[in-house]
């Protein structure tokens, strides 16, 4: 398995995946539509000895050409971001779900050995919780009434505070946004296809990916990139709710390695696998750590006390399955990597569009 197509290979994650594959002896072909919101007219660089096809994953002719003489596919092409998905519904469903369907239909005629698709932690909705007496809560969810009233934390039926715990792959999906719906559809379509056509298929459920190369002008994806854009322009990071919500942040180089391992490790076939750091961080903690790394600790986060439609309270990864099936172990932890990230931001053009994002959501009644 030497020739790999990476759809969305010019994106933030895709560039790192393509580089990881090239460095390990794979021949790489990249398919990317080069969306302005992501690339902003920038000069796109790809790894040496890789090939770029500019085109839309929904175009049958383009896809047919892209998969010619290919042994495996890493499918990253997707619209990304919870907030925007709640009002650009046709765009998200079209790219993510129709694009995946078009790719899979093409692979019926030109089969490959393995396909690995990027899924998302967003498919879980709220992460896994336990009651005070240790009972697992697979279906914990906040009521809209509680959220609008500023009651952010989750309670049991008896009124006890629920404890967030690492989320494993056995946790039932609970789709809280259009983005999550499309990612779950992508994941299931690829795994169903693999089973039906005897193609090894793997879905990687990515948690919050960070690192150099994130789109600093796209406010709908990458919380660290959003914070960095604000800080680089002398503005306080904006945080919805109270800032105590917890997330898992995984470095893009660890993610790229996980995709390579998903191509190589046969036991992974047929599985959906969490890819995270296995650690949890509060959002306000992350904002403060980044401000310190960027040398502007005075720019403390602005806690908005408002919620966005589609947001969840807590979700962080249990990565035991990734360790078992992929031999995956994260090596670039957030607290040890923010200096490198800050240095990259200082040498980049950071356009702050956070206020635009907030206004667009408010105008549509998606902030309360």
Which residues are marked as active site? 179
Nearest to 312 by CA among 81, 159, 127: 127
Classify 84 as helix, strand or coil: helix
Distance CA 215, CA 192 (A): 32
Instruction: DSSP for 253-273, please give it.
Output: HHHHHHHHHHHH-GGGTT-EE
What size, in residues, is the chain? 368
First-to-last C-alpha distance (Å) of the chain: 50
Strands (E), the chain: 3-7, 27-32, 51-54, 72-75, 114-120, 129-130, 136-137, 163-164, 200-206, 208-210, 238-239, 246-247, 249-251, 272-275, 281-282, 302-303, 314-315
DSSP class of residue 165 equals: -
Rg for the chain, CA atoms, rounded: 20
Give the C-alpha separation, 31 to 14, whole Å. 10
Coil, helix or strand at residue 118: strand
Is residue 70 within 8 Å of residue 29, measured between CB atoms? yes
Answer whether 274's CB lies under 8 Å from 240's CB: no
Structure-block tokens of residue 66: 């892209």
Q: Are 239 and 301 in contact (CB under 8 A)?
A: yes
Residue 161 · residue 124 · CB < 8 Å: no
Query: CA 119 to CA 121: how far, in whole Å?
Result: 7
The string over 181-215, giving b where at least 16 C-beta atoms fall within 10 Å of a residue's C-beta and e elsewhere, is bbbbbbbbbbbebbeeeebbbbbbbbbbbbbbbbb
């Amino acid at each position: 398995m030497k020739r790999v197509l990476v759809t969305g290979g010019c994106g933030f994650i895709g560039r790192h995946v393509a580089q990881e594959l090239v460095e390990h002896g794979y021949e790489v072909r990249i398919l990317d539509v080069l969306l302005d919101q992501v690339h902003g007219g920038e000069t796109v660089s790809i790894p040496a000895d890789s090939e770029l096809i500019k085109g839309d994953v929904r175009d049958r002719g383009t896809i047919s050409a892209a998969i010619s003489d290919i042994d495996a596919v890493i499918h990253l092409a997707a619209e990304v971001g919870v907030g925007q998905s709640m009002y650009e519904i046709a765009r998200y469903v079209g790219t993510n779900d129709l694009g995946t369907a078009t790719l899979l239909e093409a692979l019926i005629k030109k089969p490959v050995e393995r396909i690995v698709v990027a899924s998302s932690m967003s498919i879980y909705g709220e992460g896994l919780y336990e009651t005070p007496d240790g009972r697992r809560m697979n279906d914990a969810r906040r009521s809209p009434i509680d959220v609008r009233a500023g009651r952010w934390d989750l309670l049991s039926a008896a009124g006890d505070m629920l404890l967030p715990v690492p989320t494993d792959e056995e946790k039932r999906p609970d789709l809280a946004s259009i983005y999550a719906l499309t990612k779950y559809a992508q994941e299931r379509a690829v795994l169903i296809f693999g089973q039906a056509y005897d193609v090894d298929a793997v879905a990687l459920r990515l948690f919050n990916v960070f690192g150099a190369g994130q789109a600093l002008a796209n406010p709908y994806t990458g919380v660290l990139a959003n914070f960095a854009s604000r800080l680089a322009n002398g503005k306080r990071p904006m945080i919805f709710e109270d800032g105590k919500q917890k997330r898992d942040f995984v470095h893009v180089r660890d993610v790229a390695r996980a995709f390579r391992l998903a191509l190589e490790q046969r036991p992974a076939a047929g599985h959906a696998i969490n890819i995270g750091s296995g650690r949890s961080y509060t959002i306000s903690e992350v904002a403060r750590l980044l401000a310190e790394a960027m040398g502007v600790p005075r720019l403390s986060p602005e806690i908005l006390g408002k919620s966005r439609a589609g947001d969840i309270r807590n979700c962080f990864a249990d990565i035991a399955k990734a360790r078992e099936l992929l031999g995956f172990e994260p090596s670039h932890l957030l607290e040890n990597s923010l200096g490198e990230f800050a240095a990259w931001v200082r040498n980049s053009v950071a356009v702050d569009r956070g206020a635009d994002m907030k206004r667009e959501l408010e105008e549509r009644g998606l902030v309360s």
